[in-house]
């Protein structure tokens, strides 16, 4: 390859690398525009959140009210406060206090803080006008600003663009759009209530109390299915849930005892009936199948247990005791044989060993015979029967 071609290739590569580096530096120097980042903390997102007009105005008013409470005792002697007392009247309605409130306005707002600051700027003339001229005649800032001046809210109990009156909802629901310039004014009933004015009971509820102004609905018994009920208790059900059957004689729902009608549990479990259902509990460890709780309700004793006095008793301790006795007696025999062997060589030594063996055997037997042995504890049902027999 000619030298000029090799040189031109290297020059092109250097030029390309230089261009890439310059472009990277230029991009790094571009300032980041706020709001373009896809991330952002949760707090920043809450600050930038946009609230409905009425809710945003209410947040502004609440923050202003908090400022009023915060500055109730902010009067100072001398300085600007004394000048305000002399020129503008009491500190309570002074411009100094208004400025102090506005300095911290919206700082306590969690959701929509940015929107609150914007509204504070937009409504600043109205707020100053209310502060100077309408505090006494219109003490409710929310009513004066949000309802009358900004016209973004309605008084409580009214809704829609024209602030039409809300229905009563019979005290069992809320008017959609209540207090705002939105909504259709329909009742959103609480659970258990139905009807356009929430004046009737919903599904699976019955009328427990009613007068001209109030209705109280209570839930049906758990035995009742979707058909509802006519009153309290399972006898008032129209349709029964699974686990219950309709009593053709008395009416209403009666619990099905699955433990009698079927055998839903395994061999090593026993059945306990519940309202509308059942539970399977494990048998006692001494049982190989059972009809209830405790070693006295076993169908058959498990391995290592024997039926004694109507109760499956653990026999493993007895076997261990028998083995211990056999081992003990075998040890005694070994000691006696050792004494006899020693006797053939030395009489006095055999006598000494025999005395030690006799003392050892006597002390061991005395200790074993005087140690209390643990007794088997009968089940609660057996104890109850014994107490009844004694009485």
Predicted pLDDT at 383: 54
Question: How confident is residue 323, by pLDDT bands cut at 50, 70 and 90?
Answer: low
> Once rounded to an integer, what is the mean pLDDT over residues 271-282?
92
Share of the chain above pLDDT 70, in %: 78
* Structural contact between residues 314 and 321, judged by C-beta atoms closer than 8 angstroms: no
Residues 284, 276: Cα–Cα separation, whole Å: 26
What is the enclosing helix (H) or strand (E) of 351? Answer: helix 347-370
> Once rounded to an integer, what is the mean pLDDT over residues 346-375?
72
Whether residue 378 is predicted with pLDDT greater than 70 in this model: the reply is: no
Residues 373, 360: Cα–Cα separation, whole Å: 22
* Structural contact between residues 141 and 65, judged by C-beta atoms closer than 8 angstroms: yes
> Once rounded to an integer, what is the mean pLDDT over residues 193-205?
94
Whether residue 200 is predicted with pLDDT greater than 90 in this model: the reply is: yes
Predicted pLDDT at 126: 94
CA dihedral in degrees (378, 383, 385, 386; nearest 10)? 100
Predicted pLDDT at 388: 60
* Structural contact between residues 135 and 102, judged by C-beta atoms closer than 8 angstroms: no
Per-residue tokens: 262: 């079927």
* Structural contact between residues 324 and 316, judged by C-beta atoms closer than 8 angstroms: no
Residues 287, 21: Cα–Cα separation, whole Å: 83
Whether residue 33 is predicted with pLDDT greater than 90 in this model: the reply is: no
pLDDT tens track for 89-113: 577 888 899 999 999 999 999 999 9
Whether residue 5 is predicted with pLDDT greater than 70 in this model: the reply is: no
pLDDT tens track for 144-183: 999 999 999 999 999 999 999 999 999 999 999 999 999 9
Alpha-carbon torsion 115, 116, 122, 123, what sign? positive
Predicted pLDDT at 343: 67
pLDDT tens track for 7-18: 344 544 444 444
Share of the chain above pLDDT 90, in %: 52
């Amino acid at each position: 390859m000619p030298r000029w071609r090799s040189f031109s290739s290297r020059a092109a590569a250097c030029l390309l690398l230089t261009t890439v580096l310059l472009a990277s530096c230029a991009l790094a120097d571009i300032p980041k525009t706020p709001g373009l980042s896809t991330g952002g903390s949760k707090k920043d997102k809450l600050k930038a959140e946009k609230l409905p007009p009425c809710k945003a105005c209410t947040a502004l008013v609440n923050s202003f009210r908090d400022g009023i409470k915060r500055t109730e005792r902010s009067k100072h002697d001398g300085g600007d406060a004394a000048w305000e007392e002399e020129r503008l009247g009491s500190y309570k309605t002074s411009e100094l206090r208004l400025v102090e409130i506005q300095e911290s306005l919206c700082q306590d707002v969690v959701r929509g803080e940015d929107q609150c600051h914007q509204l504070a700027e937009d409504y600043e003339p109205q707020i100053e006008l209310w502060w100077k001229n309408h505090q006494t005649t219109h003490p409710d800032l929310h009513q004066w600003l949000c309802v009358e001046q900004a016209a973004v809210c309605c008084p409580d109990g009214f809704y829609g663009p024209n602030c039409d009156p809300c229905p009563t909802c019979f005290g069992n629901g809320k008017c959609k759009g209540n207090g705002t310039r939105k909504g259709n004014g329909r009742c959103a009933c609480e659970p258990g209530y139905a009807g356009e004015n929430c004046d009737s009971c919903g599904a699976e509820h019955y009328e427990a109390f009613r007068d001209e102004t109030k209705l109280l609905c209570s839930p049906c018994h758990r035995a009742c299915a979707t058909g509802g009920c006519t009153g309290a208790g399972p006898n008032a059900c129209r349709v029964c849930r699974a686990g219950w059957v309709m009593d053709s004689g008395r009416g209403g729902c009666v619990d099905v005892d699955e433990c009698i009608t079927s055998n839903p549990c395994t061999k090593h479990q026993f059945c306990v009936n519940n309202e509308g259902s059942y539970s399977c509990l494990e048998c006692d460890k001494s049982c190989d199948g059972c009809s209830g709780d405790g070693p006295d309700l076993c169908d058959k004793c498990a391995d290592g247990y024997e039926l004694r006095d109507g109760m499956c008793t653990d026999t493993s301790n007895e076997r261990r005791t028998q083995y211990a006795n056999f081992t003990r007696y075998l040890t005694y025999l070994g000691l006696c044989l050792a004494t006899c062997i020693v006797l053939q060589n030395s009489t006095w030594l055999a006598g000494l060993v025999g005395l030690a063996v006799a003392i050892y055997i006597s002390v061991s037997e005395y200790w074993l015979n005087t140690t209390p042995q643990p007794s088997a504890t009968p089940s609660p049902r057996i104890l109850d029967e014994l107490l009844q027999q004694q009485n």
